[in-house]
Structure 1
Amino acid sequence: MMKLSLAIVLLLVPTFAQAWPWSDDMANQISIKPQESVDLKNPGMRPYPKHSVPIPGVSSLVKDMGASEKQLNPIPADDKSVALGGKLFQIYCTPCHGYSGKGDGLVGAKLLLKPFDLTADQTKERSDGFIWGYMTFGGAVMPSYANDLSATERWNVINYVRKVLQNGQSAVAVTPAAK
């Protein structure tokens, strides 16, 4: 009986130990909490850290697909934009949409719902803002790329799709250089 009581007490000790004062020492220490100021004369958070550099490019504040569909592409479809869009397309889009943009990528082939054919008339008729919004918010199968691609980069991808893929050209597969 004594051994059983000792075993029960030993099993319950860790449970009660969580209630001791040292169990939350990490939360209650002398430190700066989020959005607190070090300077007592100027409480609150500074809007921008010292020596911060703004991200270049276009910013876009849209809340949903309806708002994004009305946007116009602010990035001219010059050679530089199309080239950058092509590189980004190969990185982010070819797994599902394939190099030709027809939805025949290696990952896309395994999905139950096939990725959009970016060269189809249905896609050509869509506005640049719609495609940008789809990249931003995602869709039925497509994830959102708002965290992976900046607003400007998404417009560059659209320029690539419009100027290269929808004109019958295909992306060139990038292969590692032979050693």
Structure 2
Amino acid sequence: MKKITLAIALLIAPAVAQAWPWSKDMSEQISIKPQESVDPDHPGMEPYPEHSIPVPGTTSFVQDMDGADKQKNPVPATQKSVEFGGRLFGIYCTPCHGYAGKGDGLVGQKLVLQPYNLTADHAKGVSDGYIWGMMTFGGAVMPSYANDLSPTERWNVVNYVRKVLQQGGTVQANVNGR
């Protein structure tokens, strides 16, 4: 009987102490929520600075692949853009797509579904927005890079894919990041 009483007491003790694992201590702590001001006299987000304007080509509000496919590339394919896109391609894309973009990277060789061959004729026929959208939303085995690359960085990668991998162009800088 003493063991049962002790067991019941041990089960009830956390409830009395309000220490159940599902208590709301973490969600009800003193903290600043997103878009909340620390100044109680001025609650909410700070307004944009006076005379500020959005910078074109840096933000995208597409919600799916259909919307991405219809987008036009806002970043001109300058030498600087292609070089920067090449460096990013070397970091994020070569493990699966390989340095030549043929889908033969070291990681890609181990996948059940082979990564997309970016140099094939059918890849040349897709829109810039489609390539950008695949980096944004991911695919069957391709992860999304929306959290890793900004919209503008993704457009730079598109410029690299188009100018170097698909058209056989070159870049002056070493795109392998070495």
Which residue of 2 is the match for residue 157 of structure 1? 157
Deviation at 1:137, TM superposition (A): 1.2
- When normalised by structure 1's length, the TM-score is 0.77
Larger Rg: 1
> CA-to-partner distance for each residue in 1:23-81, whole Å, 9 max, x for gaps?
767766766555444444433332459xxxx8895222212211211211121111111
Query: Is the Cα–Cα contact under 8 Å of residues 137 and 143 in structure 1 kept in the other structure?
Result: yes
Deviation at 1:162, TM superposition (A): 0.9
SS in 1 for 2:88: helix
> CA-to-partner distance for each residue in 1:101-152, whole Å, 9 max, x for gaps?
0001111111111110000000001111111111111111111111111111
Which residue of 2 is the match for residue 112 of structure 1? 112
- Greater Cα shift, 103-112 or 165-174: 165-174
SS in 1 for 2:42: coil
Which residue of 2 is the match for residue 140 of structure 1? 140
Residue ranges of structure 1 left out of the alignment (5+ in a row) = none
Which residue of 1 is the match for residue 67 of structure 2? 67
- When normalised by structure 2's length, the TM-score is 0.77
Task: Classify 1:70/1:42 alpha carbon distance in 2 versus 1 (closer, same or farther; 3 Å).
Answer: same
Query: Is the Cα–Cα contact under 8 Å of residues 86 and 175 in structure 2 kept in the other structure?
Result: no
Map 1:38-49; keep pairs closer than 5 Å: 38-47=38-47
Task: Classify 1:99/1:16 alpha carbon distance in 2 versus 1 (closer, same or farther; 3 Å).
Answer: same
Output the CA distance in 1 between the equivalents of 2:105 and 2:70.
29
Q: Which amino acid aligns with 1:153?
A: E
Query: Is the Cα–Cα contact under 8 Å of residues 81 and 159 in structure 2 kept in the other structure?
Result: yes
Task: Classify 1:3/1:41 alpha carbon distance in 2 versus 1 (closer, same or farther; 3 Å).
Answer: closer
